[in-house]
Each structure stands twice: as structure tokens, then as C-alpha cells.
Structure 1
Amino acid sequence: MANRAYNFNAGPAALPLDVLQKVQGQFVEFENSGMSLMEMSHRGAIYEKVHFETESLLRELLSIPEGYKVLFLQGGASTQFAMIPMNLLRPGATASFVATGSWATKAIQEAKLFGETAIAASSESDSYKRIPSIGELNYAPDSAYLHITSNETIEGTQWSEFPDTGNVPLIGDMSSDILCRPIDVSKFAVIYAGAQKNLGPSGVTIVIIREELVAKPSTTVPTMLRYDTHAKNDSLYNTPPTFAIYMMGEVLKWIKSNGGAAGMEAINREKAALLYDTIDGSNGFYKGFAELGSRSLMNVTFTMQSKELEAQFIKESEAQGFVGLKGHRSVGGLRASIYNAVPLESVRALADFMRDFQNRNAQ
């Protein structure tokens, strides 16, 4: 389609063109109803069908076992940083965390407002360039839970495998890599993710939680911040983000039609290899930020020989239609976010641009 940017934004991020065009055709009138889905009651039969179909698709694509509730909430993953300790961190207990970068740090800071925290492992001394190995994890067996961030968008690191935590509930923030590959949901007590990177537009947050953890909190928690409130009402206690949920359902259909999680992993690995091979083959012109064993499939982070050269790279890339390649302000450098909906053709174009830029600017 003409005038489509090469979109490498970190979030909100690229959406499948096929989905956007389908939704465009249903935007004003949804399924001969005489109105847009955004105008409908969330209690009506038409929206409820969309709502539960989206949940069913998510369960299917993630192979979610029996015994888990799937919630559609608002407030982003940042609200989950607070909801998790509010609901699951009992007085006198300690929540353990693996400190892997910017987003894990924010989750830790929020949990400290509600109870005791401990660091099970950290890569801070390595500038968060790597994910600690499973053998490095050190947490008390009576921890309320162990929290990990499966993919750090800012540093560009990702867990390649997840720990078996036994009786300690494992909680995963998967906001930036959910459904980029198959995972074993049964390892986790809670998985949460903002939709705006891999699942759909901003506005809806997914929480997958074991049913035994859905209970009235031991301390006073506002009604809207309790998991049992939403679980008892199928995420319909209040007006949910109906359009975002509908859009997510369409993205899930697109993922299913493209081979599900396994299909996404195959294409994501191909996309990531194109960029990492370009970086590694540049003789130091480009330098990858993350260590080899911790590189992300979703966020390729790299630097160049000077900030001036990086600024020139951004300027020239933007002139050629590339969007979102500037690194996060907290770490600088460059970043290409290659989420599920970023086409292979866009990644090929970026790799070509990177090689051309090097040929013109290498000393």
C-alpha cells in the first residue's frame, strides 16, 4: 500500500495491514447492526460475542490450560506493577524480582510501596546487557512470588528459557513479546501484557492468572484494582475497552492464519537474524547492545561510533520512510522494534539501508 511507513516504533507499534483494512470496512457499521461497535452497549449480544471470541482465541493460541482466568483490563502493564502486590503480596511475605532492565526496575519500585521485596538476580552491573542465567537465581522458597520481565524493550534483551519455580508462583510481564513464540503457560502463576506491541492497539491489558490466586486480598484494595472483581464478571464489571478488545481479536485471527505462535516465531527469527547479521558483519561500524545469548527477537538495540553519526543515521532513515529507530531516551543509541506485525519486507529494507549507510560513512 502506498505511503505506508517502515514502522519500527516500540509501542504503540505496527498493526497488520490486513487487519487495519478489514476493520476500516466495519468501522462505521459493524455486521449490519446499523452502528459502529464503539457505539454499542458492552452488555449487548453483539459485543459479548466479540468479547468471548477474543478470549477463546487467546486461550487457543497460547494453549492456556484449564484452571486459569483470562482478564481484559485497562491501565497498561504499569497498573499491573501495583495490582500484583496489592492482590498477591501478603503482609509479612516478600516478593522476589529478577532485575533485568528498565521495566523490571519499575515493577520493583512499585512493589516496594506495598510490601517487602528482594532481588533474586540482577544484571545491573553489566548495564543490563544480559539476562541472568537460571542458575544465578537466588530467592527464598517462601517468597510470595518471583517476578520476571520476559523481554526488555529498552535494552533489547529477552529470556530464552524460563525457570521452574516449584511452589513459588512465577509472574511474567510479557508486554513486549507475548505470542512472538510458543511458551508453556503452566510454568506461570500470572502472565500480563499490554496489547499495544504484539496483540493490538493500546487500551487493553491482558492478565492470565491461576484461579486459586483470584481471591479477596488480605488488605483493603479498591474494587477496581482487585482481580476477583474482574474474574467474577468476565471482565465486564465496568465498561471494558470494547474497540481495543475487538481489534485484538482481529489481530489474533491474523496470527492464527499465519501459523499461530510457532508461525510467528519462525518469521520473527528470520527478521531478527537479518538485523543481527548486519550488525555483526559490519566490522564494528554497528555494535549490538545486548550480549549474544540474551538478544531479543523483538527489539534490536545497537550503537554506532559517535552520537553525531547516530543522529545522521536517524535523519537519513526518516527521510527514506523509516520510523521509530531512535533508542529510548534513557539509554540512547538505536533500536528497531520488530514485533509480529512488522513485515519481513520492512526489515529487509532496513538491513539494506544499514549496509548502504555503512558503505557511505565507514572510515
Structure 2
Amino acid sequence: MTKRAFNFNAGPAALPLGVLQQAQQEFVDFAGAGMSIMEMSHRSAIYEQVNNDAQALLRELFGIPNNYKVLFLQGGASTQFAMIPMNLLKPDQTASFVMTGSWADKAIKEAKLFGQTSIVASSEADKFNRIPDLSGIELPSNAAYLHVTSNETIEGTQYAAYPETGDVTLIADMSSDILSRPVDVSKFGLIYAGAQKNLGPSGVTIVIVREDLVAQSPKSIPTMLRYDTHISNNSLYNTPPSFSVYLVGLMLKWLKERGGVSATEQYNRDKTKLIYDTIDQSGGFYRGFADPASRSLMNITFRIQTEELESLFVKESEKQGFIGLKGHRSVGGLRASTYNAVPLESCKALAEFMQDFQKRNG
């Protein structure tokens, strides 16, 4: 292959070429078994090793303490919106949320199906263009947990720091920025993320959970929706998304070879600076949507002076090999998703295209 697309899709998203090529080489005959990993039993020693190695690498790279379990589940982050209150929200408690945009809203709506909820901070008045100030946050006395969405892919905002919650469990949906920067996992009771943005393909969801929270899930909920089911079976209670887990393992190896999470964060900052600088130095031709203090390293959202120019931008960019730059249908505008596997060269090419487009249309 001589040319790959400049892939800025929001998810499923770009994967490293080297990872794809290794998967291609091993696709028909994995580990000398004479069959693909997609053909073999998830009870086999070969697959159990793949499962365990991916868990171990995730623990190493993310600094996950020993009293946390790593799960590979199905159903996407959207299923976690329901599993969390089903497992952790007791009848006399309240699930608390920070309302930051589209994905936080989905999590709140699901939690309302199972119990009381409260929104303790919101940026809705500012059209979700920022992360609200949480320095003086007050939680209900009966709060079961506080849920945050670490990065809003649609609005392009990201937490710079996480709130202190005292004895109240902090839970984070990190679907769009997990392993893009170092995080103190011990601050959280539970972290979850769909893999299809930073950690691999669609089909597998990572859950990192403190053992004491889910040592015994309520017996009143279905077996497949209980965390203790998956913990006691090492994520192998039922047939897992084996090929997706395998690719997550390859992605984790790729991240380790590139210097780990700290090196990845610096690389991401270098990438996104190219595009944010182009926006900020355009004299108003491009306008960033997110407040500068809340700008995401994963999803860069911006507008141009007219919708006609935005449509032309998308049309011309696609002819030049750029994919996924149209903003989400709910907010419009433009968006470049710059996840871990998006190379610096793609961001440089986009910045150059943006500068050229301004010269021709400004």
C-alpha cells in the first residue's frame, strides 16, 4: 500500500499500520495453531494467554493498582451507562453527574431508569463548550457515586483535572481519551471505555473497577449484567470478542514500544498544536468551538464563517484524502479526531490544507 487515508474519524478510528499488518500476517494461522484466532475456542490455552497478556499490559501502561480488576466486556460504553447504576446504585442513594454534553446526557438518561439522579454541575448554558468549574462541587449526602465523561467527542472538550470527591466513588467514561495521557487510577472506583477510539477496534469495552465495589453484585439483575459474573470468570463467562481483544493487545504493545502513556501524551500535544495553532492564527476565519481551557487533545471542533464554506471544506478535503472531518450531526461544524494512532504527518497535512483553504476562500 503506497497511500493511506488521512483518517480523522471519530470512531471506529485510525489504527496503526504496523498493528494492522501484524494482524494481517497472523490472521490465517495464529501462534502456529493452524487456524485464525477467530476460529479457536476462548477456553483454549492460546486464547487465555492473549486475554491475560492484554490485561497485564493494560495494568502496566496505565498503572492500575492490584486491588482493581480489568474486564473485557461487550455492548460498548452505552451498556455501561446501564450496568453501572444496576450494580452500584442502591434504592436509598443518588447517582450524581457532571453534565458536559451528549455522552454525559446519555449516561444520565440510563441512570434515571434505575434510581434517583442529580446533576451537580453543568455547562449547558454555554452550549457545552467547556468543562464546568468543579472546585466548589457539592454532592448529595446520599451520593452513590459521581460520574464524569472525561472527554466529550462531539463538543470537543476534555477535563484538565478531575474533581476531589472524598468518600464518594468517582466513575469516569474514558471512551475517547483512555491511555492518551497518564491518569491516577486510584482516584476512581470505576473507569470504562469503548476500545474503538484509542485502544483497538469496535467490539470490546474495557472496564477497570475496584474490587470492593463489585465483590457482590445484586442478585436481582441478569447474570450477564453483573460485574461479579465477569470478574469471577476472568472476562470469559461467555464467548468474548476474541479478535477485538487480540487487537487491543497489539495496540497496547504498540503504545509500550513508543514509550508508554507519557510519551503518547506529548505526541498528542504536538499533533493537536499544529491544528489549534492554525485555528488561532487564522484571524477569525476558523473559530474553535471549545473554550481554550477545555480543549480536547482527542477531538478538535471548529467552525468556518458560513455553512457553505464548511460544506466546501468537507468536499475539498475528501478529494485530498481526508476522512471524517464533518462535525457530528447534532452540532454541525467540523471536527478532527486525533486519537493515539493518528500520526503527526496526518495532522501536519491537515494544518497545511486548512491554511491553503483559507488563502483561497478567506
TM above 0.5, yes or no, is yes
Counterpart residue number, 1:123: 123
Counterpart residue number, 2:241: 241
Structure 2 portions without partners, runs of 5+ = none
For residues 321-358 of structure 1, the C-alpha deviation after alignment (integer angstroms, 9 at most, x for no partner) is 00000000000000000000000000000000000000
Query: How far apart are 1:215 and its partner, in Å?
Result: 3.3
2:15 pairs with 1:23: no
In 1, the alpha carbon distance for the partners of 2:150 and 2:166 equals 18
Q: Which amino acid aligns with 2:308?
A: E
In 2, the alpha carbon distance for the partners of 1:256 and 1:141 equals 42
Aligned to 2:341, the other structure's residue is in SS state coil
Contact 2:268 2:340 in 1 (8 A): yes
For residues 189-232 of structure 1, the C-alpha deviation after alignment (integer angstroms, 9 at most, x for no partner) is 00000000000000000000000011333461000000000001
Counterpart residue number, 2:313: 313
After TM superposition, the score normalised by the length of structure 2 is 0.99
* Equivalent residues in 2 for 1:217-228, closer than 5 Å: 217-218=217-218, 220-228=220-228
2:138 pairs with 1:138: yes
* Equivalent residues in 2 for 1:243-262, closer than 5 Å: 243-262=243-262
In 1, the alpha carbon distance for the partners of 2:325 and 2:36 equals 35
In 2, the alpha carbon distance for the partners of 1:136 and 1:75 equals 35
Counterpart residue number, 2:335: 335
Q: Which amino acid aligns with 2:13?
A: A
For residues 7-27 of structure 1, the C-alpha deviation after alignment (integer angstroms, 9 at most, x for no partner) is 000000000101001110000
Counterpart residue number, 2:279: 279
For residues 243-301 of structure 1, the C-alpha deviation after alignment (integer angstroms, 9 at most, x for no partner) is 00000000000000001100110100001111100000000000000001000000000
Counterpart residue number, 1:167: 167
* Equivalent residues in 2 for 1:89-108, closer than 5 Å: 89-108=89-108
Counterpart residue number, 1:37: 37
Counterpart residue number, 1:49: 49
In 1, the alpha carbon distance for the partners of 2:127 and 2:137 equals 18
In 2, the alpha carbon distance for the partners of 1:213 and 1:308 equals 51
Q: Which amino acid aligns with 2:274?
A: L
Counterpart residue number, 1:322: 322
In 2, the alpha carbon distance for the partners of 1:317 and 1:95 equals 43
Counterpart residue number, 1:111: 111
Contact 1:142 1:168 in 2 (8 A): no
Name the stretch that deviates more: 208-217 or 326-335: 208-217
Q: CA RMSD in A?
A: 0.8
For residues 68-123 of structure 1, the C-alpha deviation after alignment (integer angstroms, 9 at most, x for no partner) is 01110000000000000000000111000000000000000000000000001000
Counterpart residue number, 1:346: 346
In 2, the alpha carbon distance for the partners of 1:68 and 1:215 equals 11
Structure 1 portions without partners, runs of 5+ = none
Aligned to 1:228, the other structure's residue is in SS state helix
Q: Which amino acid aligns with 1:149?
A: T
Query: How far apart are 1:164 and its partner, in Å?
Result: 1.8
Contact 1:155 1:301 in 2 (8 A): yes
Counterpart residue number, 1:288: 288
In 2, the alpha carbon distance for the partners of 1:245 and 1:356 equals 41
Q: Which amino acid aligns with 2:80?
A: Q
Contact 1:180 1:198 in 2 (8 A): yes
After TM superposition, the score normalised by the length of structure 1 is 0.99
In 2, the alpha carbon distance for the partners of 1:222 and 1:33 equals 36
Counterpart residue number, 2:191: 191
In 1, the alpha carbon distance for the partners of 2:272 and 2:166 equals 33
Aligned to 1:39, the other structure's residue is in SS state coil
Contact 1:94 1:116 in 2 (8 A): yes
In 2, the alpha carbon distance for the partners of 1:341 and 1:137 equals 35
Q: Which amino acid aligns with 2:351?
A: A
Sequence identity (%) = 68
In 2, the alpha carbon distance for the partners of 1:104 and 1:94 equals 16
Aligned to 1:287, the other structure's residue is in SS state strand
Q: Which amino acid aligns with 1:258?
A: R
Aligned to 2:143, the other structure's residue is in SS state coil
Question: Which of structure 1's runs of 4+ aligned residues deviate more than 3 A?
Answer: 215-219
Aligned to 2:38, the other structure's residue is in SS state helix
In 2, the alpha carbon distance for the partners of 1:139 and 1:129 equals 23
Contact 1:285 1:304 in 2 (8 A): yes
Counterpart residue number, 1:152: 152
Matched residue pairs, number?
A: 362
In 2, the alpha carbon distance for the partners of 1:269 and 1:137 equals 29
